[in-house]
Chains A and B, each alone.
Chain A
Amino acid sequence: MAYANPNITADAVDAQEFMDLSRRYRVTGVPKTIVNETIEIMGGLPEPEFVEAALQPPGAPGR
């Protein structure tokens, strides 16, 4: 996704190595994705659903 658009940055974060971040984002299971600090996507989703979830407006119901 990051490669597709210069506005997008994608980080793969080791949840065990960076426990402070995991606590901040309440990572209790993996994979868990955080978009712009507000959108939470739990688990692995098929690509179309993942992209749709990542692009949802802030405040929309999470996945």
Chain B
Amino acid sequence: MALLTDQDRQTITAHLAPISKRVDVLLFTQTIGGSESGLIAKQVVDEVASLNDKITVVDKSFVLDTEDRAKYGVDKAPALVVLADGADTRIRFYGANTGYEFVSLIEAVLLAGTGNLELEPESIAALAAVDKPMHIQVFSTPT
């Protein structure tokens, strides 16, 4: 059964229409010993990808694809890594991406696909001065 209603699909399709770059969403899941949320994450990203032909879901094994895990710093599953024209956006999602996180996923895909950073100029200037690795973790819940 689809997670998105027809109305959802229409709204999100219109929202993602400005995408001009290729967006790859790498989905790392663990089939054996993994949680059910991996299946939900898969359904969520597959439904989003079905709304725009520039979006592709690339399935990765959390257990077997160790090189990609290391490359993208993925240390838990399910995980989503968002790429823009093959380049790492350094945006990650850990969990099933339902509820509020679904909106964040849509916005991340839109950012990757358009390159339009919707931050204040002052924020962009302040962030440009970051010259050391900075790791931001935002904890939220689906509801």
A15 touches B134 (CB 8 A): no
Residue pair A36, B135 in contact (C-beta under 8 Å):
yes
Assembled-state Cα–Cα distance A1/B120 (Å)? 11
Interface membership of B141, Cβ < 8 A? yes
Contact B138–A12 (Cβ < 8 Å): yes
Question: At the interface, yes or no: A61 with Cβ under 8 Å from chain B?
Answer: no
**Measured CA separation A11–B131 after assembly (Å):** 19
Residues of chain B lying within 8 A (CB to CB) of residue A51: 119, 123, 126-127
A27, closest chain B residue (CB)? B139
Rank and list the top 7 A-B pairs by shortest CB-CB distance, nearest first: A14-B95, A2-B90, A15-B139, A17-B95, A9-B90, A4-B127, A51-B123
Interface residue total, chain B, C-beta cutoff 8 A: 38
A2 near B120: Cβ-Cβ < 8 Å: no
CA–CA, A59 to B117, complex, Å?
Answer: 30
Contacts A8-B130, A25-B139 known; list 15 others, CB within 8 Å.
A4-B117, A4-B119, A5-B130, A8-B134, A8-B135, A9-B90, A11-B92, A11-B94, A15-B141, A21-B139, A34-B136, A34-B137, A34-B139, A47-B120, A51-B123
Interface residues of B (CB under 8 A from A): 35, 37, 73, 76, 89-96, 101, 104, 111-112, 117, 119-120, 122-124, 126-128, 130-142
Q: How many residues on chain A are close to B (CB under 8 Å)?
A: 36
Please tell me which one of the listed residues B37, B93, B128, B133 contacts residue A12 in the complex, with CB atoms under 8 A apart: B93
Q: Which of A7, A31, A36 contacts B139 (CB 8 A)?
A: A31
Residues of chain A with a CB closer than 8 A to B112's CB: 3
Q: Are A7 and B140 in contact (CB under 8 A)?
A: no
